[in-house]
Amino acid sequence: MARSLVIKVTAGADAPERCNQAFTVAAAALASGVPVSLWLTGESSWFALPGRAKEFALPHAAPLTDLLDAVLAGGRVTVCTQCAARRDITVDDVIEGVRIAGAPTFVEEAVAEGAQALVY
């Protein structure tokens, strides 16, 4: 049974340390060979749009754009359907490789055999 991480990040620029921690853990897990699904919810939904991660800065932290690129290259990135809708974000707006999906998909991933869910 392979272990995997499902990481839900609920914070964006409104809570930069918590936001960056989620992206850092996702990228570190992928670098360690752990399959990762990163869910962007709440204010982190904005990072699914081109250029938004580049605007984020946190001292002594890896650039968010580099962490997001790493997760996109080796894992899965999903924006919550309701969160996207509340922000008028559509599938045509998001970075290539980002999908929009809802709670049933999150639950399916989170309860899959061998999965560990983390929420930031």
The DSSP element (H or E) to which 99 belongs, if any, is: strand 98-101
**According to the model, what pLDDT value does residue 49 have?**
98
Nearest-angstrom CA–CA distance, 90 and 47? 13
**According to the model, what pLDDT value does residue 1 have?**
59
| Closest-CA residue to 100 (of 111, 87, 89, 86) | 89
DSSP code of residue 114: T
Cross-strand pairs, 66: none
**According to the model, what pLDDT value does residue 108 have?**
97
Q: What pTM does this model have?
A: 0.96
DSSP assignment of 12-80: STTSHHHHHHHHHHHHHHHHTT--EEEEE-GGGGGGGSTTTGGG---TTS--HHHHHHHHHHHSEEEEE
**According to the model, what pLDDT value does residue 2 have?**
82
**According to the model, what pLDDT value does residue 67 have?**
98
Stretches where the chain sits below pLDDT 70 are: 1
Q: Specify the CATH architecture of the domain 4-119.
A: 3-Layer(aba) Sandwich (3.40)
